[in-house]
A = this chain, B = another copy of it.
């Protein structure tokens, strides 16, 4: 490094727009979320797949509809043209196509994906963000069994995250949607664009969606009115029975196939004991091109934009949203804004997925590799969890606040002319590390005892090991538990033989771990992630999602055409 210091940087010191550093308690909380999710994935027999962060540009193109414009390309520096992955699903399909010896597999992946979208960092909407995916591929099964296991996994993940009563899984079926569009008289070539208009019903009122269908997409007004009758339907088994009784719908081959799938699915979800978390919603359409069967997404409080939640009559709001959205776009062109405070943006869905039976064929035309999966939006789950913990002051608990895991701080003190005993402290640390004990010490040759205690306290390290010249000469060293009350008999520490130190420390750590485990048992299984129910709501409409206005329907987050939500 040149020694002459520059006085000013020629560029802004920051991470790129829509990205962030993860450190401290945030990274610990995020890792706990990862761990909760992957534990569930592994309990279902999944193997891990880790693909490159960039793919050949040709692999990604043609999968994301209008959102392809959000793909990051690498610069052409000679050689292959590459792009940063947009999701984990397409790389999984590419991997399956390259590994034809794999006939069936459950795979999971945790990795960052990239979208050049408008960021809203505080809501976990980033340009670089994590996805946790679980997918089942292969043709060895009977219909809807794998689909049901994926939905069971969705439920297990959110239950284990402590979200009981705070999430809803919205389900629909592409074939039912396609069938009902046919029944209503939508021309074949308009089905995808009408479907994507329907998908906006979680953000816009019907009147706005109808206007888009009729005015922008040239649909007959009467056809639109027929669609309304269907896509406003939501429910559980009752809705399925209603559809089964609808002769026009059952007369359409696609709709009939979809309804039969849903019927099987609900039976299996009951066997898995998760039916009460599900919500059959005919307005759910999902943007991505590749879905072919059941589709689903998980919503929670905050999924919908605040401004929509605050009003009952959406007419005015919708125009407002369009305005504020345009404004945000314009502002972005000149500065590097974060839209976390924009009321037109909700957190969006926290998990989403579906069945995609023909994606692998894009890469291997002869492949017969039906797939179904789910993608968890970990950054959004993190943002919501953190906000709740802050609201409930859970972040004060030392198990969350601690950034390091250090068990022991090794220190020394002595009188006048004391040399600091640095090599002796090092040797003690060595003996602890050798025994697998996490230990630190001061980097000063001579460090004041008070400074050493302060260092141990500031990291909430539970034990101090204290060296002194006399004790050392006698082959002894002192173990002191930090933070004992002044009347405690061991307040001043306990002398142990140096050769016994690792064993003595381990004994105390084991005892402490036992106490902490008991404590955790009392507080609840998933101590820090678990958020207590805010009082039992009698309503099961929508199922299990409490803390919302009862008259309000569960809503998906902001509309981004073709967005797959997470």
Q: Which residues of A contact B (CB under 8 A)?
A: 1-3, 5-17, 19-24, 27-28, 31, 42-56, 58-59, 72-77, 79-80, 82, 84, 94-95, 97-98, 106-107, 112, 114, 116, 128, 140-142, 145-146, 148-149, 152, 156, 267-268, 270-273, 289-290, 292, 356-359, 361-366, 403-406, 422-424, 426-427, 429-430, 433, 436-440, 442-445, 459
Given contacts A73-B77, A145-B422, A365-B8, contact A19 B52 (CB under 8 A): yes
Contact of A365 among B6, B52, B94 (CB under 8 A): B6
A70 — nearest CB in chain B belongs to which residue?
B77
Measured in the bound complex, the distance between the Cα atoms of B140 and A47 in whole Å is: 45
**Which B residues lie within 8 Å of A14 (CB)?**
56, 98
Cβ-defined contact, B22 with A50, below 8 A: yes
Measured in the bound complex, the distance between the Cα atoms of B140 and A482 in whole Å is: 23
**Which B residues lie within 8 Å of A13 (CB)?**
94, 97-98, 363-364
Smallest CB separation, A350 vs chain B (Å): 20
Contact sample, A vs B, 29 pairs, CB 8 Å cutoff? A1-B362, A5-B361, A5-B365, A6-B362, A11-B56, A13-B98, A13-B363, A20-B52, A21-B49, A21-B98, A24-B47, A27-B49, A28-B48, A43-B436, A44-B433, A45-B404, A45-B406, A45-B459, A53-B114, A73-B77, A74-B75, A140-B443, A140-B444, A146-B443, A271-B423, A271-B426, A271-B430, A272-B427, A273-B430
Measured in the bound complex, the distance between the Cα atoms of B47 and A406 in whole Å is: 10
Measured in the bound complex, the distance between the Cα atoms of B75 and A436 in whole Å is: 47
Smallest CB separation, A236 vs chain B (Å): 18
Smallest CB separation, A41 vs chain B (Å): 10
Contact of A359 among B1, B148, B270, B405 (CB under 8 A): B1
Given contacts A42-B404, A363-B13, contact A128 B52 (CB under 8 A): yes
Cβ-defined contact, B358 with A3, below 8 A: yes
Cβ-defined contact, B423 with A267, below 8 A: yes
